[in-house]
Amino acid sequence: MLVLGAGLAATALVAALRSGGFAGEITVAGDEDPYDRPPLTKELFARSAPEDLREQFSLAADAAAWIRARATGIEGGVVTLRDGAGRATTATAGAVVLALGSRPIVPVGWEGVRTLSRWDDAVALRTALAPGAHLVIAGAGWIGLELASSAAAKGATVTVIEDTGRPLGRLLPEPVAERVTAWLRAVTPGTVTLVEGRVATASPTTLDLTNGRVVRGDVVVAALGARPATDWIPRQWLGPAGHVRTALSGTVPGASDIWAIGDCAAAPGGQHWNAAVASAQRCADALLGNPVADPPVPSVFSTMFGRRVELVGHASPGHEVLWREGRGNGWAALFMDGDDLVGGLVVDRPRDVAALRRLLGGGRPVLDRAAAADPARRLADAVRRR
Ligand SMILES: Cc1cc2nc3c(=O)[nH]c(=O)nc-3n(C[C@H](O)[C@H](O)[C@H](O)COP(=O)(O)OP(=O)(O)OC[C@H]3O[C@@H](n4cnc5c(N)ncnc54)[C@H](O)[C@@H]3O)c2cc1C
């Protein structure tokens, strides 16, 4: 088996295959060493080496052979690999698994603007962020906010530009994004400024907004989301957004013995940690001839501004919101479609996260609104019979 890419999905696949009893040869070819990405933003200033980010990765020498190479072509089951000096070799295998991840979106013309996706980006960024530096971030999604949080804690002044004007504004129902905005303003007075606007042009130190405003800083970072790293993959295997089209198990329709997992595939749950691991497990099960489990309830975890934030299930700006909060700091916003619960954003209430996962795992439960809003009651007790 040949696995292309050596990140989270690849290492989870190797671990799942070996623990499932796969005894064949596995070779993993990656253009960088395996490590875990979430700490790159959340612990930007805390980690000293990529090895430090490998706790969860079990690419042990006896599990898989490892080649440092970049895959640049695949035709008729033959993969072209290039080493750091550009020298090409070819490889074949009984099964080829694409685990290529994604790359940050950088609009045309934004030359020199930084991104934060790889270890090298993190190292360069923390060197550039000297104490007192002004960091300008385009995009208030997960990555932009986590970076703002780490940089502000380290003494930087941060400006975040977001076209909806609200953190996570493209994702969350409006009242919830408003609440995140108010929280952010309250905990970062004078350090993090949120600016509503759309970026027209960008340079390494300046963003020009379409409303005429110019925002200058010492460092500019684009945090606009990511695209699958599939530019060299045959077009007929790709969907409109550049993801490799797959069945639930990871097989690629119309391509024999080719599989795709993680961020590069359009796996249910999106480009997130839990979804990547689940897709690797499904792929391993299919390769081992085991039944393939249904995808888990989508969920994204984050830590920002000292709080644990988790998004579970489905969220859209149009969903109605049911608040659930007590006297402490934690709260949950439940996303409703009529009386059906479809998702929620939970801040510092880990029990609600677990309950949401369980309840949404069974479909769209109908909630008794008064019971669900009472933080002293278990969420499970608020479910009504349909
Ligand atoms: C800074 C950051 C923070 C994150 N935080 C969170 C979080 O808090 N919660 C969450 O749910 N998700 C988070 N994510 C997303 C999560 O890390 C990804 O969903 C996950 O890593 C996807 O796993 P993957 O194996 O598909 O891709 P990756 O882990 O990105 O691995 C893909 C690997 O393939 C390599 N590669 C690409 N092309 C080639 C090629 N042609 N040849 C050889 N190798 C290649 C890449 O260099 C990379 O090493 C974060 C992502 C980033 C960047």
Give dist(CA 324, CA 335) in Å, integer: 11
pLDDT of residue 199: 96
* CATH code for the domain defined by 119-222: 3.50.50.60
Mutation to probe ligand 1, out of 272, 307, 312 (largest number of atoms < 8 A from CB) = 272
Counting DSSP H helices and E strands in the chain, the numbers are: 8, 24
Burial class (CB in 10 A: 0-12, 13-18, 19+), 371: middle
Give dist(CA 175, CA 284) in Å, integer: 41
39 C-alpha vs ligand 1 centroid, how far in Å? 12
Per-residue confidence band for 34, with pLDDT thresholds at 50, 70 and 90: confident
pLDDT at 219 over 80: yes
pLDDT of residue 268: 85
Residue 60 CA to chain centroid, in angstroms?
A: 25
Give dist(CA 71, CA 89) in Å, integer: 10
Closest CA to 100 of 312, 217, 292, 267: 267
Higher pLDDT, 57 or 94: 94
Per-residue pLDDT reduced to its tens digit, 107-142: 999 989 999 999 999 999 999 998 899 999 999 999
Mean pLDDT score across all residues of the chain: 93
Question: What percent of the chain is modeled with pLDDT above 70?
Answer: 97
The tally of CA atoms less than 13 A away on the side-chain side of residue 10 is 31
Mean pLDDT of 246-251: 97
Cβ–Cβ under 8 Å, residues 353 and 329: no
Give dist(CA 189, CA 170) in Å, integer: 24
**Domain limits, CATH 3.30.390.30, in the chain:** 306-384
For residue 19, count other CB atoms closer than 10 A to its CB: 11
Per-residue pLDDT reduced to its tens digit, 63-86: 889 899 999 999 988 999 999 999
User: pTM here?
Assistant: 0.95
Per-residue confidence band for 228, with pLDDT thresholds at 50, 70 and 90: very high
* CATH code for the domain defined by 306-384: 3.30.390.30
Give dist(CA 261, CA 275) in Å, integer: 9
* CATH code for the domain defined by 2-104+227-288: 3.50.50.60
Give dist(CA 346, CA 117) in Å, integer: 25
For residue 229, count other CB atoms closer than 10 A to its CB: 19
Per-residue pLDDT reduced to its tens digit, 135-175: 999 999 999 999 999 999 999 999 999 999 999 999 999 99
38 Cβ closer than 6 Å to some ligand 1 atom: yes
pLDDT of residue 61: 59
386 C-alpha vs ligand 1 centroid, how far in Å? 40
Give dist(CA 159, CA 220) in Å, integer: 10
Q: What is residue 191's three-state secondary structure?
A: coil
302 Cβ closer than 6 Å to some ligand 1 atom: yes
Q: Which two tokens stand for residue 373?
A: 């809003």
143 Cβ closer than 6 Å to some ligand 1 atom: yes
Task: Choose the weakest-confidence range: 186-190, 213-217, 258-262.
Answer: 186-190
Task: Choose the weakest-confidence range: 49-53, 213-217, 357-361.
Answer: 49-53
Higher pLDDT, 164 or 328: 164
Give dist(CA 377, CA 384) in Å, integer: 14
4 Cβ closer than 6 Å to some ligand 1 atom: yes
pLDDT of residue 242: 97
299 Cβ closer than 6 Å to some ligand 1 atom: no
Mean pLDDT of 46-50: 77
Instruction: Encode 310-323: b = buried (16+ Cβ within 10 Å), e = exposed.
Output: bbbbebeeebebbe
Give dist(CA 281, CA 274) in Å, integer: 11
Closest CA to 267 of 285, 284, 243: 243
32 C-alpha vs ligand 1 centroid, how far in Å? 11
Q: Which atom of ligand 1 is nearest to the CA of 102?
A: 30
Which residues have C-beta within 8 Å of that of residue 316, sequence separation ≥ 6?
171, 173, 335
**Domain limits, CATH 3.50.50.60, in the chain:** 2-104+227-288, 119-222
Mean pLDDT of 290-314: 95
pLDDT of residue 30: 94
The tally of CA atoms less than 13 A away on the side-chain side of residue 258 is 22
pLDDT of residue 56: 57
> Furthest-apart CA pair in the chain: how many Å?
66
For residue 155, count other CB atoms closer than 10 A to its CB: 13
| Helix 8-19 with 273-288: angle, nearest 10 deg | 40
Q: Atom 41 (ligand 1): residue with closest C-alpha?
A: 71
Q: Identify the sign of the CA torsion 285, 51, 98, 245.
A: positive
Q: Identify the sign of the CA torsion 336, 340, 345, 350.
A: positive
Helix H segments across the chain? 8-19, 38-42, 119-128, 142-153, 174-187, 273-288, 350-361, 369-373
Mean pLDDT of 17-31: 95
Q: Atom 19 (ligand 1): residue with closest C-alpha?
A: 272
357 C-alpha vs ligand 1 centroid, how far in Å? 24
Q: Atom 53 (ligand 1): residue with closest C-alpha?
A: 117
Beta strand spans in 46-86 (E): 65-68, 70-75, 78-82
